[in-house]
Amino acid sequence: MHLYRASQIGTNFERGRLEVQLATDEHQKPGDAELVQRSLQGDRGAFGELTQRHWRKCVDVACYFLRNHSDAEDQAQNAVLKAYQHLDQYQGDAEFSTWLAKIVANQCLMLMRARRRVRFVHVDEVPSKPNSLPLQLTSEYPDPEGELAYLQLNQKLRSEIRRIPPLMRNVMLLRDIQGLPLEDVAGELGITVAAVKSRLVRARAELRSRMVKHYCGIRDSSPALHSAAPLNRVGRNCTVRLAN
């Protein structure tokens, strides 16, 4: 009986010492704020400890939004990387775990919005409407028809810009091509800012009216030509080449 009580006392003593040791180790661990500061100073191990400490919470937050553990881990990883890249933006107003959880939530919301915009189309799908054009896959580069339309429009644009009176053309070149602020344009030309604005409006209107004369029937042209011609790049490319 005495031997059993002595053994039990010894076991309790060892258990109590272990609990004290664990509590001491836990107390000695650096807090999140200290780990953040060490990370900002280049200590990658400190950020690794932050990640390990809050990883499970990040995945749980992502799972709440995505309902898929694999996607949740991917977005949690993306959020951790973004947090590391923008760690200097953490102001310490809230707990680091709260700040990190917000980044995870934003990552998940962006993924959900992107998925809602996705629409799958079968390449060999027969058009449901009569006289519909066949499906055309977009390319990074213009097709031959689009390249020809681009070159033709390029030539017309350069030609018409040269025909604009110098007082208006110079304002357009400095503002729209070189990207100078209105004040700098006024200083270069020795006029007021109000005069710069007035001449710029007139120059743009003049160029627009000249181009409409060449492409007045563009709305009646085929949809294939519209999709082929890279018109969104024409103005900037043409004017930059003209300036050079």
pLDDT digits (tens, 9 = 90+) for 125-161: 566 666 666 666 666 666 677 677 778 888 888 888 8
Q: What distance in Å separates the CA atoms of residue 184 and residue 124, rounded to the nearest whole number?
A: 56
pTM over 0.75: no
Q: Give me the helices (H) in 86-214, please.
A: 96-117, 144-163, 166-172, 182-189, 193-214
pLDDT tier, 22 (very low <50, low <70, confident <90, very high otherwise): very low
How big is the chain, counted in residues? 244
Average pLDDT, the chain: 77
* pLDDT number for residue 156: 85
The helix, strand and coil proportions of the chain, stated in percent and rounded to the nearest 5, come to: 75, 0, 25
- The residue behind tokens 């749980």 is 60
All domains in the chain, ordered by first residue: 29-117 (1.10.1740.10), 144-243 (1.10.10)
Question: How would you label 76-85 residue by residue, b for 16+ Cβ within 10 Å and e otherwise?
Answer: bbbbbeebee
CA distances from 17 to 7, 25, 118 (A): 15, 12, 59
Q: What distance in Å separates the CA atoms of residue 166 and residue 186, rounded to the nearest whole number?
A: 15
Give which of 48, 114, 57 is closest to 81, Cα–Cα: 48
Tokens of 127: 């058009």
Percent of the chain surpassing pLDDT 90: 40
Percent of the chain surpassing pLDDT 70: 65
pLDDT digits (tens, 9 = 90+) for 105-117: 999 999 999 888 7
pLDDT digits (tens, 9 = 90+) for 27-85: 578 999 999 999 999 898 999 999 999 999 999 999 999 999 999 999 999 999 999 99
Position 229 pLDDT exceeds 80? no
pLDDT digits (tens, 9 = 90+) for 180-205: 899 999 999 999 999 999 999 999 99
Judge contact between 157 and 235, C-beta under 8 A.
yes
